[in-house]
Chains A and B, each alone.
Chain A
Amino acid sequence: MTPGALNAIVPMACVTAAGIAAMVAESFREPGEHMPIAGLGLVGLIGAAISAVLLWNHNTSSFGLVSADNFGLFVTLILVCVGVLTLAISGPTIERERLPAGEHYALTLFALAGMMLMATATDLLVIFLALEVLSLAVYVLTGLRRDSPVASEAAFKYFLLGAFSSAFFLYGIAFTYGVTGSTHLDRIGSVIAAGAAQETLMQRLALGLLLVGFAFKVSAVPFHMWTPDAYEGAPSSVTGFMSTGVKAAAFAAFVRVFLSAFEPMRADWGAVLWVVAAATMILGTVVGVVQPNIKRMLAYSSIAHGGYLLVALLSGNDLGKGAVLFYLLTYAVTNLGAFGVIGLLESAGTQPSAISHQPFIPATGHQPPNDQVRDYAGLWHTHPMLAGLMTVFLLSLSGFPPMAGFIAKWYVFTAAMKAGYSGLAIIGVLTSVVSVFFYLRVVVMMYMTEGERPAAFPAVPRMAGLALVVSAIVIFYLGILPARVLDWAAQSIGTIF
């Protein structure tokens, strides 16, 4: 083995090592002893970020299965942002819900390693393994609140449907192997391109099964049913993590598989994806309007954002591929910020002492989790800073200038217009306008309605507060001066397609 042969897997190795360290640290922790386990994770993530930056433009690959091209590294860096923000905002949630801290951090880090692998893998087999690593970790994270029936139900639904979709995906890989004799994306691409004239039924079947598998993971309509339940039941920090991290990893693999290996079959998947993208945008927005629970509302918003990302993917031109990356970054920072605020406010409404420690028995006297939209009434009067930050995140999600969300959506729709998908662009703009309504509902609630609850907020932990402020600054930076990051995004797609 030549020196440097392992370079491409260094970022995910750093994160995996941090995960193992977190696990070991937890097992040596005395009950009640405080250990900076999140700090361990942070060290691993910083290592991953540094190695990703050093690998930039080198286009290294390991084992012929993992390729650290700029595309994968860009997604890796997005995932580092996701990881750092998740570690920073999950403190209050862990303390309030009395979640096992070491396991929470270790599973988060393992999931991140799986996501990074999924974004850089160039072989369907490895993509599948990475998908399983991240999915298993996220299923468990969803069900971490064992005393809550809602969380158990959410984890179980997510697990069953996720396992089901994995089976679809694996079946698709098997058929692909049957058609092309390989699981490597390059070879699949060249075999399909060579035989493009006579497309077999089996080839279409393989394509369809893979499409279903991916659609489940990015929660595209009609495979979105698990999303609202899973997002509502999971602890807020975990919801933020899985809505951004899983999406980023799944879309990275989606783009890689469909725009490189299956690009010659665009005639087949293009029409299907058109319908899926349109349905995803419309359903996510329309159903989101009527949600009284803010986590469910953001779950439907997440479905709608998946639809915009599908539009960018479908456009398939350089602008569209760059738009996918930029959108993923923007969405990651914005959505994690929003869920950070939700996590902090949940802490304000729930008493830790009310939590029962009997597993699977509904806790008696458990206070409402404070996550309805009406619970945000009068937030401006009790906690102006959090209300202001939440406003920034929600407006960015809805695509208001000068927030980053506006630029991201603008690029997606421009790419769609250039690629000739003006119908999708129109649907996208219209649904964005409708979505403004439900984001603004929360904002109106915060500023113009008097709360019934007395102001009794615990102090915001320093780490979480800092992370939220930095996210807000990043959102404004990406919204006002997006040129540099867009440039990097454009560079990173140049290397593989």
Chain B
Amino acid sequence: MTGSPMLFYLFAAVAVGASLLVIAQRNPVYSVLLLIGSFGALSGLYVLLDAPFVAVIQIIVYAGAIMVLFLFVVMLLNAPHEDTDYDSHVHPLLRPGPMRFGAALALAFGVELVWALTRAGQSGAFAGGAVSSVAQIGHALFTDYAFPFEVTSILILVAMMGAVVLARRD
């Protein structure tokens, strides 16, 4: 890639910051939403690495499907809210703890968006043709990595069985 280190650091900072905030939140719903932010930043990193397919999959599978499931579970479990002890009329940047982080994060996203839009078309990330097209990934998956791919199926079978064994009522 010819992309800029600036973009890399922005995405990386957002990913790390959002991940740290995931564990710092007291409200699980915020944690889940921040995790989506972290996944989004990761997918940006994949784009910088010339892996558009992985980036899209990251958004669709993780940020989309899996996080929706997370959100459902969190809401179904009715996780308790922490009491908010700040004044809701104060400006977000002046509020304590998590809210301030959230505002900083929103700012970072804004900067990033502007950066990306103004530099659209000149980043050259896809100039040389993507290294990992879907066809190439598929080819690698079913030739060089056919065996690890099959091992993954056993892994998923074990995980599935474990979940059933531990969760069922008898």
Interface residue ranges, A against B (CB under 8 Å): 9, 16, 20, 23, 62-63, 65-66, 100, 103, 106-107, 110-111, 113-114, 117, 123, 125-126, 129-130, 132-133, 136-137, 139-140, 143-144, 146, 155, 357, 359
Contact = CB atoms under 8 A, between A and B. Distances in A.
Interface string B147-170: 110011011011101100110011
Given A133-B154, A133-B155, 9 more contacts: A20-B157, A107-B158, A125-B145, A132-B155, A136-B155, A137-B162, A139-B162, A140-B165, A146-B166
B146 interface: yes
Contacts, number: 59
Given A100-B165, A140-B161, A140-B165, A63 B147 contact: yes
Contacts of A139: 162
19 contacts: A9-B147, A65-B148, A103-B165, A107-B165, A110-B154, A110-B157, A110-B158, A117-B151, A126-B148, A126-B151, A129-B155, A133-B151, A136-B155, A139-B162, A140-B158, A140-B162, A143-B166, A357-B170, A359-B169
What 9 pairs across the A-B complex have the smallest Cβ distances?
A140-B162, A63-B147, A129-B151, A103-B165, A136-B158, A110-B158, A133-B155, A137-B158, A65-B147
B58 to A, nearest CB: 16
A84 B41 CA distance: 48
Contacts of B170: 357
Nearest to B167: A359
A113 B154 contact: yes
Contacts of A130: 151
Contacts of A136: 155, 158-159, 162
Contacts of B169: 359
A155 B162 CA distance: 12
Q: Is the interface of A mostly helix, strand, loop or mixed?
A: helix
A138 B164 CA distance: 15
A1 to B, nearest CB: 10
B147 A62 contact: yes
B170 to A, nearest CB: 7
A123 B147 CA distance: 11
A110 to B, nearest CB: 5
Nearest to B159: A136
A51 B146 CA distance: 23
A107 B161 contact: yes
A63 B169 CA distance: 42
Interface in B115-150: 145-148
**How many residues of B sit at the interface, in one of the four size bands?**
10 to 19
Contact of A126 (B147, B158, B161, B165): B147
A63 B145 CA distance: 8
Nearest to B152: A129
A481 B113 CA distance: 73
A241 to B, nearest CB: 15
A379 B124 CA distance: 77
A125 B161 contact: no
A9 B147 CA distance: 10
A136 B156 CA distance: 10
A130 B150 CA distance: 11
A134 B152 CA distance: 12
Contacts of B162: 107, 136-137, 139-140
A16 B154 contact: yes
B30 to A, nearest CB: 21
A146 B164 CA distance: 12
A129 B148 contact: yes
Contacts of B158: 107, 110-111, 133, 136-137, 140
Nearest to A357: B170
B132 to A, nearest CB: 15
A24 to B, nearest CB: 12
B157 A125 contact: no
Contacts of B161: 23, 103, 106-107, 140
Nearest to A155: B166
Interface string B1-43: 0000000000000000000000000000000000000000000
A140 B164 CA distance: 10
A258 B170 CA distance: 46
Contacts of A114: 154
A125 B151 CA distance: 11
Contacts of A106: 161
A103 to B, nearest CB: 5
B25 to A, nearest CB: 18
A66 B165 contact: no
A137 B148 CA distance: 18
Nearest to A99: B165
A459 B158 CA distance: 34
B130 to A, nearest CB: 19
A66 B148 CA distance: 10
Contacts of B155: 129, 132-133, 136
Contacts of B157: 20, 110
Contacts of A123: 148
A141 to B, nearest CB: 9
B148 to A, nearest CB: 6
Contacts of A23: 161
B43 to A, nearest CB: 17
B154 A140 contact: no
A258 B145 CA distance: 24
Nearest to B149: A129
Contacts of B145: 125
A139 B155 CA distance: 13
A103 B157 CA distance: 12
Contacts of B154: 16, 110, 113-114, 133
Contacts of A16: 154
B159, B162, B169: residue with the most chain A Cβ atoms closer than 10 Å: B162
A410 B146 CA distance: 44
Contacts of A137: 158, 162
Contacts of B151: 117, 126, 129-130, 133
